[in-house]
A and B are shown apart, each in its own frame.
Chain A
Amino acid sequence: MAAGLTAVVDYGLCNLDSMARALEECGAATVEKTRDPRIVSRADRVVLPGVGTFGAAMRNLRDWHLLDAICEASANNVPFLGACLGMQLMATIGTEGGARTQGLGLVEGEVVRLVAQSTEERVPHIGWNEVHPKSGSALFADGDETGDFYFVHSFHIRLVDPSAEAARTPYCGGFTSTIEIPGRPIFGTQFHPEKSQKNGFRLLKRFLAV
């Protein structure tokens, strides 16, 4: 059982229930879906799930005063997990919809569209694909070399500093599918761990144990 409060941040666009239910199944003691920045501020863990577009998400995070609460929590090394759009929002800049939008800036990078490298590849990238972790990653067990996780997205983060990359996925020329900021409990997954059955639940349990 992972003690303390896990806040699942509600910015009005996303699949909160799936993430909250999965965290409970994985042993989180208290999970609260919230739009209240005060709850985010006192949480022991912050999860930013994701469906939506970058601009719409940042607009709501800013308007609802959640942006500052999230940035402050992560600056205080409160464990953070962004999933799918939640991971993309960690970047400094988003480009979805043609406009350049400022992100949370938890990791230096730009969110750009996936580009198919062959007629076999289609965008959006929808379905189960491999995730190849780097050794020493906190979210993957050593020896847990590769497994399929569920993806549904058209954009990905292009990192400035590759040391934050914890795993890659071979699609559209390869992209960063997991982020871990070295030495800090700040994580992101481009896939949906809450929908990735055994592999996803294993990863969520490791996050809860951080």
Chain B
Amino acid sequence: MLKTRIIPTLLMKGMGLVKGTGFDSWRRVGAALQSIRVYNMREVDELVLVDIAATRGNAKPNFREIDELADNCFMPMTVGGGVRSVQDIRDLLAVGADKVVINSAAIETPELIRDGAAEFGAQCIVVSIDVRRQADGICEVFTECGSKPTGHDPVEWAKTVAMLGAGEILLTSIERDGTMTGYDVDLVRNVAAAVDVPVIASGGCGTYSHMADVLGTTRASAVAAAAMFHFTEQTPREAKSFLAERGFPVRK
């Protein structure tokens, strides 16, 4: 049986890792290499690593830094931030990324999804969808690290990117991000029901029960968490025991 993945998300800025709240108020949370070594030892299912400096500064991904991190990473690693061309995807795969995350460029140049999938296969093209739920409850997709509204509805946008060739969707709630108050379960449910590709729920996880809530009531294939692993004593391994006791398939 395919196991539900528990995925720590690492946000890289320069040489260090950061974590914010609502895609803002960044705090330093340690060194990337050290975190990767710890997660290696703990045999986590997969890591997501996003270079947010590249996203914001309109720069290329930091290939040299990612290369060094990947050389120390014997677990699947999904890498994003600043991916704007087929060559960027090629270079990230070459330095050791298993999958590549596209966010802002997916909106600006949707053909990048199609061209990337045609060259490298849909399985390594992850489209990240960052969603802000407005006061009236309506959801909208944002890019540029949560700063730019796009006018896209997340469900419709998810269907579009899957049709273009995205093999996976990393779905993040912007206002839940870093709050540790739980995933936006309705958002995850609606998006995961609308597409046939795997969906990773992200944004808001603060406890193991938040993971159980979203996995129990939506068709998400994986859960991502950052603040919970950075700022609390909770670990991916304990998350698995918690989920296994409640009948979710996890890797032992």
- Which A residues form the contact surface with B (CB < 8 A)? 12-18, 21-22, 25, 51-53, 56, 85, 96-97, 116, 119-130, 148, 150, 152-154, 170-171, 192, 194-195, 197-198, 201
Contacts and interface: CB of A to CB of B under 8 A. Distances in A.
B97 A122 contact: no
Given A18-B73, A127-B46, 13 more contacts: A14-B93, A17-B67, A18-B96, A51-B121, A52-B120, A53-B119, A124-B121, A124-B123, A124-B197, A148-B3, A152-B76, A192-B98, A201-B74
B90 interface: yes
Contacts of A195: 74-76, 98
Question: DSSP majority for the A interface?
Answer: mixed
Contacts of B96: 15, 17-18, 21
B168 interface: yes
A128 B2 contact: yes
Given A15-B97, A17-B95, A124-B167, A53 B124 contact: no
B123 A25 contact: no
A51 B124 contact: yes
Contacts of A116: 196
30 contacts: A14-B93, A15-B98, A17-B67, A17-B95, A17-B96, A51-B93, A52-B120, A53-B120, A56-B119, A56-B120, A85-B121, A120-B219, A124-B121, A124-B122, A125-B2, A126-B123, A127-B5, A127-B221, A128-B3, A148-B251, A150-B46, A150-B76, A152-B98, A152-B123, A153-B121, A153-B123, A154-B122, A154-B167, A170-B1, A197-B75
Interface residues on B, range: 35 or more
B22 interface: no
Contacts of B123: 51, 124, 126, 152-154
A80 to B, nearest CB: 22
A120 B192 CA distance: 11
B94 interface: yes
A116 B221 CA distance: 14
Interface string B234-252: 0000000000000000011
Interface of B: 1-5, 43, 45-46, 67, 70-71, 73-76, 90, 93-99, 118-124, 167-168, 196-198, 219, 221-222, 251-252
B74 A22 contact: yes
A126 B74 contact: no
Nearest to B40: A197
A136 to B, nearest CB: 25
Contact of B120 (A25, A51, A120, A126): A51
A104 to B, nearest CB: 18
Contacts of A15: 93-94, 96-98
Contacts of B73: 18
B190 to A, nearest CB: 15
